[in-house]
Amino acid sequence: MNNKWTGILGLFLTTVWACDQHTTRRYDYVVHGIDISHYQSFVNWDTVAAQDIHFAFVKATEGLMMSDTMFCHNWTEMKRVGLKRGAYHFYRPTISAREQADNFSRLVEMEYGDMPPVLDVEVLDGVSKTILINGIRTWLYQIEIRYNVKPIIYTNLKFYNKILAGHFNDYPVWIARYSFREPILASGRDWHFWQYGNRGRIKGVFGNVDFNVFNGT
């Protein structure tokens, strides 16, 4: 095999190896968390809480009517074991933002000490940037009235910098960037939560789980 093909094969194998690696937990931050949905099936929250996990976000709803099948179990269990808990809604831009806010509000009952609701915005679904921004604003407004707290906006770094930068600067942001390097937001503002990997492994959770840190104490 000549040097050219040897180099290409080596690059391919290195890429495959890297993509197959589990996310290593960071220890340069104080506050650690995970996020969960029905994809992880049943979580043993006692085991999770015993591993320096301080908070967890769980999927509650999506779009107009969908609710996560594991939400009620996860929501109750997180409270029982004393984890800071938060719930998120996956936003569908082509569906009424007001009705999506109603979907979330019907399911999620928050208590003192819970983290603010989260709006997960990752797709355009074919709508314009203007329609998306207006819809997000409506959802945030409705939820802020309902729970008397400013919601958190979750998205990935590329989507934030391309679509959301310059908007909603008074709302906390949770940024997904699967890298050792911290996210740098185009608007120059700081991030509050960072989802730094999606292939984490932790006792009590089946399969891969997202690892997060909080930018504070």
Predicted confidence (pLDDT) at residue 2 exceeds the cutoff of 90: no
CA proximity to 108, closest of 76, 64, 80: 76
Calpha distance 164→187 (Å, rounded) = 9
- DSSP state letter for 44: -
pTM comes to 0.89
CA distance 208 to 55: 17
Pick the catalytic residue: 35, 77, 114, 210? 35
The rounded distance, in Å, linking the Cα atoms of 43 and 24 is: 20
**Spatial distance between the Cα atoms of 91 and 131, rounded to a whole number of angstroms:** 13
Boundaries of every domain in the chain? 26-214
169-195 mean pLDDT: 96
| Residue 20: predicted pLDDT | 57
Place 21 in a pLDDT band, splitting at 50, 70 and 90.
confident
pLDDT tens track for 183-205: 999 989 999 999 999 999 999 99
CA 104/CA 179 separation, integer angstroms: 31
CA distances from 25 to 22, 52, 59, 177, 199 (A): 9, 11, 22, 14, 10
Give tens-digit pLDDT for 63-93.
999 999 999 999 999 999 999 999 999 999 9
Catalytic residue of the set 102, 122, 144, 182: 122
Task: Give the Cα separation of 46 and 77 in Å (integer).
Answer: 8
Cα 131 from Cα 54, distance rounded (Å): 36
Q: Which residues contact 189 (CB under 8 A, 6 or more apart)?
A: 169, 173
pLDDT higher than threshold 50 for residue 6 = no
SS3 88: strand
35: annotated active-site residue: yes
The H or E element that residue 10 is part of is helix 3-19
Locate the DSSP E strands across the chain: 31-36, 55-62, 66-67, 84-90, 118-120, 152-156, 173-176, 193-200, 209-214
Q: Does domain 26-214 match CATH 3.20.20.80?
A: yes
